[in-house]
Amino acid sequence: MSWVVGVDIGGTKTVAGLVSNTGEVLNSIFVPTPTHDADAIVATVVECINTVGETHKPHAIGIGVAGLIDVTGRNVAFAPHLAFVDFPLAQRIEEQTQVPCVIENDATATAWAEYRVGSGHGVHSLLAVTVGTGLGGGVVVNDTLMRGAHGTAGEVGHIPWVLDGVLCACGARGCLEQYASGSALTRHAREFVASGHLDAQPLLAACDGDIDQLTGNLVTQLALAGDHACMALIADIGTTLGAGLSAMVAVVDPALVVVGGGVSAAGELLLQPARIALEQRLIGGAHRPVPPVVKAQCGELAAMVGAGLLAHESVI
């Protein structure tokens, strides 16, 4: 069996592991992403590659990145949550590892993983969204990964959502990502705690009284434990997500919508409100099939697995 190293560089953490050509994973590791320093990100990725590749020498490297990848599949054109602008990531990794490298948008990689070996296996067209620090999207249509003319298709997170709304990391205002993502969940939770509402006391206690330590992951944990205020915060994110998905579904007409990323750990607390909003907002929703909305089967490893599978297919 041949192995490649798959890597997912996210806005909060970097995930790496060995990936077989059938999507099996060995030696997966998670480390924080040094988001504000491109050289530090490269050093972190190389260290991860060396660590997971100790047991099986990889013949290729596939990297999913939370950002725009140019049409060559070798350069990061722009990554709002990372320190990459017109950055030759594949070349830098190859120089330090002497192993061929391909890169892909993380949500596009997630879509491919779910299509090949996950929730979308056997489906010919799907839309995958990653609800993490940001909000990404990837599309498979008629068994083909859709990258677009310039390699940047699927950016659901930057659909204009609120005119002159919250400033996005991309530089625009009011992007959907600012209302349906892990960073949005964190912001909403901090605003809720700062309001002094009595129902916010469990959140305040969970972060030891320091609002700056309050994260979306903490909100998710409390919601899964039954905290009603946290459940409502996640439901709000899910409702906005579903409404936003209605635009993408209207354009792409997928057979399935797959939701991954860190916030998807909330499961049905996120997915059911998204389903309801999608059905309510989708044009002709009462007169056409509405695609099921399901959790990514590959979980938090989806982008890593997808990047690895693409490396198997791209590097001979």
User: For residue 194, how many C-alpha atoms fall within 13 Å in the half-sphere facing its CB?
Assistant: 10
Spatial distance between the Cα atoms of 131 and 167, rounded to a whole number of angstroms: 18
Task: Tell me the pLDDT band of 316, cut-offs 50, 70 and 90.
Answer: low
Residue 257's pLDDT is what?
A: 98
Spatial distance between the Cα atoms of 35 and 207, rounded to a whole number of angstroms: 23
> Which percentage of the chain shows pLDDT scores above 70?
100
Residue 286's pLDDT is what?
A: 84
Spatial distance between the Cα atoms of 74 and 28, rounded to a whole number of angstroms: 23
- What rounded mean pLDDT belongs to the chain? 95
| Structural fold of domain 3-111+301-314 | Nucleotidyltransferase; domain 5 (3.30.420)
Q: pLDDT tens-digit profile of 214-226?
A: 999 999 999 999 9
Tell how strand 76-79 and strand 13-20 pair up.
Answer: unpaired
Burial code (b: 16+ CB inside 10 Å, e: under 16) for 191-205 equals ebbeeeeeebeebbe
Task: Tell me the pLDDT band of 300, cut-offs 50, 70 and 90.
Answer: confident
Residue 45's pLDDT is what?
A: 98
Q: pLDDT tens-digit profile of 139-149?
A: 999 999 999 99
DSSP annotation of 55 reads S
Task: Tell me the pLDDT band of 11, cut-offs 50, 70 and 90.
Answer: confident
Q: pLDDT tens-digit profile of 126-172?
A: 999 999 989 999 999 999 999 999 888 999 999 999 999 999 999 99
Does the pTM of the predicted model rise above 0.85? yes
Among residues 18, 178, 9, which one has the least CA distance to residue 90? 9
Q: pLDDT tens-digit profile of 243-270?
A: 999 999 999 999 999 999 999 999 999 9
Q: What is the mean pLDDT of residues 18-42?
A: 95
| Structural fold of domain 123-296 | Nucleotidyltransferase; domain 5 (3.30.420)
Is the pLDDT reported for residue 315 higher than 80? no
Q: What is the mean pLDDT of residues 114-134?
A: 95
Residue 151 · residue 162 · CB < 8 Å:
no
> Which percentage of the chain shows pLDDT scores above 90?
88
Q: pLDDT tens-digit profile of 61-90?
A: 999 999 999 988 899 999 988 989 999 999
Is the pLDDT reported for residue 193 higher than 80? yes
Is the pLDDT reported for residue 187 higher than 70? yes
User: Which residue intervals of the chain bear CATH 3.30.420.40?
Assistant: 3-111+301-314, 123-296
